Chains A and B, each alone.
Chain A
Amino acid sequence: MARITYMQAINDALAQEMERDETVVVFGEDNVGGTGSPGEMDAWGGVMGVTKGLYGKFPNQIFDTPISESAFIGAAAGAACSGLRPVAELMFVDFMGVCFDQIFNQAAKFKYMFGGKAKTPMVIRTMYGAGIRAASQHSQALYPLFTHIPGLKVVVPSTPYDAKGLMIASIRDDDPVIFFENKVLYAVEGEVPDEAYAIPLGEAEIVREGDDVTIVAIGRMVSMAEQAAADLSSDGIEVEIVDPRTLSPLDTDTIYESVENTGRLVVVDEANPRCSMASDIASLVAQNCFEHLKAAPQMVTAPHAPPPFSPSLEDLYVPDPEKVADAVRKTVGQGVAS
């Protein structure tokens, strides 16, 4: 057990799985960094450094790609069908638009279309979220788009511990998994076991217990919920925070159980609101816990707008502890703080 960052936790998971199984290969743009260049190899280790150092240990299992996401994400699918367990990187999830076909019509559907005969064990690592002033085309969340698609598993870890355990589970899974890494969380530290461990896909975690309101929060939003919880607690409101950890499959049981106890729901989702995870979870709860609900479910999301560049606007764009607390207060009938 050591205190390491979310980024290091992912790096460790990749290293341990590459070590364990030489059919695990890792590739993407500058995942090594320096291929063909006159200077040093492993110059980048990914644009944020997540794969840094893997090249030294596994020179035959990690490679760089040309800028051709359709080709190399599709190659991950083809490789997964023919003996490898590839981990391909889509640098920012915002780039999905140039390669989505290979993800949702190819990899996701092989097993079903082929009557169960295909196995497509691949992971797409991708970075999401606002907060680093990267503007409209480098700051989106977009996991609702992947969650909509049958055949894809969607993972959004919120802590270093989860990042490692979920990455290992994702690599070992036989379905295509989209693994969402939050760029603001990379630097966050937490206790992480040294050895390999897998956190089953489809198991939510109760991050905080409380009897008054259930908050379901995703990825970086878990910390927003935690900050709000501290505040609310001093007002006598005890929230329960559920982190689904995987959005597909979704652990509805844990969510329903919590809402059955609290009778109140707030979903905190960094994505845009329409056809979002927030709406997905709110509608599920409305359908399945109706008789337990004491108040209207609330959603706290980004507005229906692209992420803006300007720091002062971006800071307003992302749900923050205050907005979460307001939504919680609304469900308990205390009105919005002014």
Chain B
Amino acid sequence: MFGNDITIPHLLIFFPLLAGLITFLIRNEASVKAWSLVSAIITLLISLASIYYRHNPELSGLAFNYEWLKYIGASFSVSLDGLGRLLTFLTAFSFPVIFLATYRNSYKNAKAFYGLMLLSQAGLMGVFLSTDALLFYFFWELALVPVYFLCSRWGGQKRIAATFKFFIYTFTGSLLMLIGIIYVYLQTGATSYSEHSFSMQAFHSVSLIPSQQNWLFWLFFVAFAVKMPIFPFHTWQPDTYEQSPAAVTMVLSGVMVKMGVFGVIRWLLPIFPAAVATFDNVVIALSVIGMIYASLIAMRQDDLKRLVAYSSIAHIGLMSAAIFTTKQLALEGVMIQMFSHGVNIIGMWIVIELIERQLGTRKISELGGLAHTAPVLTIMLVVIAFANIALPLTNAFVGEFMMFGGLFKYSMWYTGIAGLSIILAAVYTLNMVQQVFYGSANTLTSGMREISTNEKIILGVIVITIFAAGIYPQPFFDLTKDTVAEIITRFK
């Protein structure tokens, strides 16, 4: 029913979907794990193919378009552009890593767990691939629901309340966005079947008077801001990260967060240029405040997960600030940073997970001196941590450098203030490293064992990625050239 040919975008969406559904049918846990790992790896290969064949339009699904609800002008149209390739790759890359990293964990009712994981992957893919507003909204919600179940089923003590808050929060946001989508849709021109159209082209070419843009902007923005999250819409995040099972936290922070950023770049900026020009100051101010605020709070956290959560808020703040400068330099920075942030934070979670699995605690105050018994883990952590605070030759540096550079072009003073977060980041990260890994081991931590080989391999992969992207980031820029150019032309 999907028209003439199956293209890479469809594989990216439907393979995880089918894999997930199949997972529900498998009985024993071991084969569930194996199957989901294999399918995740296949997805990774597909996305690699999508990058390899990026100059081949047929495979990128640009031509493809299935009239889905033709009489209201919605179509099942998906396609890959630079940004899409980048983020689908991030998604495809992170899932195998996550599965490997948590391979040791055993869940009750594993098939449901892995099935939902794969479904959420499909949803994410859809978000990044769809070029139809309604379809986008569909996937936007679909990515959310499995995660909700994952968190509240396999999460920690206060999981139900925390994830419920998270769900209501994001659901409200997306409902507001739905109004926005419909309103914009009603302003679009007619297609051959319908009087309006949901297609991205139609949305991007719709002409809205500034007064309309100004309130529509906020409808969309709130949805994305909650997802990212931007101060002050962030309070769901630390609780959710803290309560979710490690694998889900990785998905949430590594990939899901990018949905917000992606949404802003793909939908908000092109549709409401005037409003963006009006409110960029507000948003950037919020983001900068958020950076400092979150960094300061991170200094006070005792739970590793919460610490990382707040640091993530700070990083995202920088991204959103950079986006809303609509400066080319900043946007290029955002592109690579989206990937880097994903890799780094997943690495962080993996380390935390490894510690918690062995010692059963995440409290910084209860840890210490792990470096004696687990030097490799320490080295990995230190590398990831320094990547997290954007040390040169790690992947995050290039991104942050360019984003700050773009922000500076926008305003020297914002940059000055935002720059303080660099220092604060160093403060809380080094505190964490010191208190968890250095010093002398206490009774609990002296029992820490060195991590296993396969864990070494996973962390090794991440570390290598960190350095590779940090030393030779050029491929990312080449990959996302087109998207950036497309945005920039609108704000010339």
> Do chains A and B stick together as partners?
no
